[in-house]
Amino acid sequence: MYAGIDCGTNSTRLLVADADGRTVERLMTITRLGQGVDATGRLAPEAIARTVGVLAGYREVLDRHGVGQVRMTATSAARDASNRDDFFAAATEAVGVAPELLGGDEEARLSFLGATAELDPDGGPYLVADIGGGSTEFAVGAGGADPDGVLSTDIGCVRLTEKFVRSDPPAPEELSQMFDVVRGHLDDVARVIPSAAEARRFVGLAGTVSAMAAVELGLATYDRDRIHHFVLTRTAAEDVFRTLATEPRRQRLHNPGLEEARADVIVAGAVIVVAIMRYFELGECLVSEADILDGLVRSLRK
C-alpha cells in the first residue's frame, strides 16, 4: 500500500492507494496552514497545531490500511515561512515520515502527472492549473509524461484574500485589484510557457475548482464521481463567480457544494479560474479530482 500526503496552504490531504494504484481512501481537511504567512513570513502556532492534529489522525489511517510507503510534501506556505522547521519537526513526529519541501516546478510536474494520467495524450496538449491557497502551478504538455513547460506563480485563494479583500462581499475595486494581479502572473505564464496559448484543453485542479463545480451542480454533499471530469463551461464559471462575489459570506454559505471553511477564500479562487479562462480564451475547464496526491503515489510505484 502507498500513500501521499500534501500539506498545502489551505488544506491537508491524504491519498491511500493499493499496489495497482487504485484509490483506497482519500481525505481532505481545511487546516489553513498558511494563515497570515504572506504578511508575517511565519507559520502561526495555531496553524501548525491544527495541521499536525490532522496529520496525527492521518497516521491512524495509514496504520489501519497497513501502508508501507509514504511520501509527504509541503508546498507554498512552507516555502514562504522562516519557521518551517518547527512545522517539519512536529509533522515528522506525527506521521513518522519527514515532509519534503517541494519547489514550485516540482509541484507543477507532480500535479500534471496526477491530473493527466487518465487522460488521452491525443486530447492534448493540456494546460493544467493547480490553484492552491498560496500559489498556482501551471504545466503544459501532452499528458501521461513529463510536461513541456512548468511555472509556479504566487497567486492563491488565501494569499489574494488576505492581501486584497477587506469588505464582505468584496468591493468592486478589490475584485479589480485581484484580477490585475492575476493577469500580471498570467503574462509570465504566457512568456515562460508559450505553448500554453496552444493548449487544446484546460484542466483545473484543487478545492476552488471542485467547489465551483459543486456549486454549479448544486451538490448538497460531496460526490467525487460527479465532480471528477465535470466540464465547467466558461459561461458557468462566470455565473458562479458573479454569484459568489456579490453575496456576503453568510449568504454565500447557502450555496450547495460550498464548504463553510472555504467560504471566505472562494471568491479569490474563482477570480483565478475566471481570469485564466479569459486570458487564454478557454471555453471550458475539465475539473479533475486527480492531482498532486495521485502524482505522489505514482512516483512511489515507479
Mean pLDDT for all residues in the chain: 93
pLDDT at 192: 97
Q: Does domain 2-102 have CATH number 2.60.40.1180?
A: no
pLDDT at 287: 97
Does residue 3 register a pLDDT over 80? Answer: yes
pLDDT at 123: 87
Q: Mean pLDDT lowest for which of 46-55, 241-250, 267-276, 288-297? A: 288-297
Does residue 145 register a pLDDT over 80? Answer: no
Confidence of residue 274 (pLDDT cuts 50, 70, 90): very high
pLDDT digits (tens, 9 = 90+) for 243-266: 999 999 999 999 998 989 899 999
The angle formed by the CA atoms of residues 38, 43 and 44, to the nearest 5 degrees, is: 105
Domain coordinates of the chain in residue numbers?
2-102, 105-292
Percent of the chain residues topping a pLDDT of 70? 99
pLDDT at 39: 86
Given this chain, do its domains 2-102 and 105-292 carry the same CATH topology? yes
Confidence of residue 6 (pLDDT cuts 50, 70, 90): very high
DSSP state letters, 160-185: HHHHH--SSSPPHHHHHHHHHHHHHH
DSSP state letters, the chain: -EEEEEE-SSEEEEEEE-TT--EEEEEEEE--TTTTHHHHSS--HHHHHHHHHHHHHHHHHHHHHT--EEEEEE-HHHHH-TTHHHHHHHHHHHHSSPPEE--HHHHHHHHHHHHHTTS-GGG--EEEEEE-SS-EEEEEESSSS--SEEEEES--HHHHHHHH--SSSPPHHHHHHHHHHHHHHHHHHHHH-GGGGG-SEEEEESHHHHHHHHHHHT-SS--HHHHTT-EEEHHHHHHHHHHHHTS-HHHHTTSTT--GGGTTTHHHHHHHHHHHHHHTT-SEEEEES--HHHHHHHHHH-
Percent of the chain residues topping a pLDDT of 90? 77
Q: Mean pLDDT lowest for which of 165-174, 226-235, 289-298? A: 289-298
Confidence of residue 91 (pLDDT cuts 50, 70, 90): very high
pTM: 0.89
pLDDT digits (tens, 9 = 90+) for 8-60: 888 999 999 998 888 999 999 999 998 988 889 999 999 999 999 999 999 99
Q: Identify the architecture of domain 105-292 in CATH.
A: 2-Layer Sandwich (3.30)
